[in-house]
Structure 1
Amino acid sequence: MSMLQVETDSLGRPIELFYEDIGYGPPIVLLHGWPFDHAMWEEQVYALAGSGCRVVAYDRRGFGKSSKPFDGYNYNRLVDDLKALLDALDLHDVTLVGFSMGAGEVVRYMSRHLGQRVARLALVSTVTPSVTKSKDNPDGADDAKFDDVCTHIRADRFTFMDQFVDRLFEGADVKRPMVDWIKSLAEPASRIAMLSCVRAFAETDFTGDMAAAINLPSLVIHGTQDRIAPFAANGRRTADLLPGCIFRPYEGAAHGLFATHASMLSEDLLGLVRSPPSQTLPPTVF
């Protein structure tokens, strides 16, 4: 467990990322979802490191044990943080995996930093290419929905988290201790970061970024019963924009498949890590 300084604020105070670097072998870097921290990947870290991978998982600025500055919560700044981490650890041929909001960071990193150091990528329960309703995305959410989310966070973010985690596992048989643990991962988050990141993923359209990822082996995993990032609006549209990807719909899974389908997800990620980095995978739909 380590801290990496990625920049300083306007008063010269350090802004640091907390990260864990576990295991030996081909590197895989895990980007967590909003509003949790790197610990959401517990099952995948254990499985991947145990299968011969070097696994790096970190807390996005504003979340977990990372610094909680007042600003810097736009996607460009967030992927600059990611680049600083990859550079500092001198990682090569990385398999980059993003869950939900983190999947947006993966795609923006590919376009903003030209995929430096990355050999493969996976987008899990992704918010790409966009979550807001538009002519191209009729299944997206209205702007008013995100306004309502911010209102509830300002009023009582802990009650909001109760409701959010219920939707995360909607329809799944998840035991109460697991639900309570997942909720606890949001408690250290800065309220400023929570609110700013809602705006970041609500207002960002990644369609223009997607082309940067086309030539890499890629995996899109999405639950067919996802109510947070709907399957048609996000999973299917993302796969359509990555014509060479492996697309794995998880039948009946909700958004929180990192917990409800933990073993399946770990196996699929391990299969991606073991794929040749120079080979574009054939399109496959399950």
Structure 2
Amino acid sequence: MGFFIGVERNVKIYVEDINPSGNKTILFIHGWPGNHNLFEYQFNQLPKVGYRCIGIDCRGFGLSDRPWTGYDYNRLSDDIRSVVHALRLKNFILGGHSTGGAICVRYMARHNGYGVSKLALFAAAAPSLIQRPYFPYGLQKQAVINIIQGIYTDRPKALRDFGNMIFYNPVSKPLSYWIFQLGLQAASWSTAAIANTWLGEEGLFYDLKTIKVPTLILHGINDQVCLYPLAVSQKNSIKNSKLVPFEACGHFLFYDQRERFNSELIQFIEE
């Protein structure tokens, strides 16, 4: 069941609510530059074991509205809060991939984890996607600048190049093309704006330390986008957390190793 929820004046977010009568709820936040459809292979399986799965398209992506502004982590986490309020969600599991994971971290800090019983981070872009003087573990800043320049000059090529980084294990050309098309559905300005957010000082180092709920961290050892040391930093910062490394696995771990991914997530939900 798909519908739209207003998050601020003239801005609506698309929401897909699968198995609304499920006994436990998982709210999924996608990464850049996709949309909720990236979790297709979770939406196919998790409702079979009784879960309610909710996927949203972040503003500027998928079917959601595409305002010119509002692509910092504060506003994006406020959008989640609006969805949580509209759907009256309580005791739900919040899960985020890549930049979606960073948005979830900000939600936990900015909104005191409102309604969240457990947090799951999938190859999350936290505490920082790029290297900094005090954090030498991310991508080089120039790599992100190159992505942004590519979006403004040849967005299809930039997305193709990104697509070549996300898998460790080979995937079919149709699957690769499908993910590429999901990226093209986003507005070019929102695609660039999110990438610019990676360069800013978003303060996720502090945000991680505010998280108090049980947290699952799933991360591919061979991730070329959000490098594995990010997961170690998350584990060291979140007191009640569990890190599960995925061997022979890249950034899109929910495809690279989808059976194990789903199994680990279900086990965490049932604990």
TM-score (norm 2): 0.96
Are 1:35 and 2:33 counterparts? Answer: yes
Which residue does 1:48 correspond to in 2? 46
* Correspondence list, 1:3-82, <5 A: 3-8=4-9, 14-23=10-19, 24-82=22-80
* Correspondence list, 1:180-199, <5 A: 180-199=177-196
Which residue does 1:219 correspond to in 2? 216
Which residue does 2:227 correspond to in 1? 230
Shift of 1:157: 0.5
Count the aligned residue pairs. 267
- Contact 2:218/2:243 (CA < 8 Å) preserved in 1? yes
- Contact 1:75/1:105 (CA < 8 Å) preserved in 2? yes
SS of the residue 2:164 aligns to: helix
Deviations 1:18-50 (A, max 9, x none): 111111121110000100000000001121111
Which residue does 2:3 correspond to in 1? 2
Alignment partners' CA distance in 1, 2:140 and 2:157: 22
Amino acid in structure 1 at the alignment position of 2:51: C
SS of the residue 1:72 aligns to: coil
Alignment partners' CA distance in 2, 1:49 and 1:219: 20
Shift of 1:177: 1.2
Alignment partners' CA distance in 1, 2:140 and 2:262: 33
* Correspondence list, 1:98-247, <5 A: 98-169=96-167, 171-203=168-200, 204-213=202-211, 215-232=212-229, 234-247=230-243
Shift of 1:145: 1.9
Amino acid in structure 2 at the alignment position of 1:253: C
Which residue does 2:259 correspond to in 1? 263
SS of the residue 2:267 aligns to: helix
Amino acid in structure 2 at the alignment position of 1:197: I
Alignment partners' CA distance in 1, 2:154 and 2:269: 41
Shift of 1:219: 0.3
Q: Stretches of 4+ moved more than 4 A in 1?
A: none
Unaligned runs of 5+ in 2: none
Amino acid in structure 2 at the alignment position of 1:252: A
Larger displacement relative to structure 2 (238-247 or 78-87): 238-247
Identity %: 28
Shift of 1:138: 1.3
TM-score (norm 1): 0.91
- Contact 1:115/1:212 (CA < 8 Å) preserved in 2? no
Cα RMSD over matched residues? 1.1
Shift of 1:260: 1.2
Which residue does 2:269 correspond to in 1? 273
Unaligned runs of 5+ in 1: 9-13, 276-286
Shift of 1:240: 1.3
Shift of 1:90: 0.4
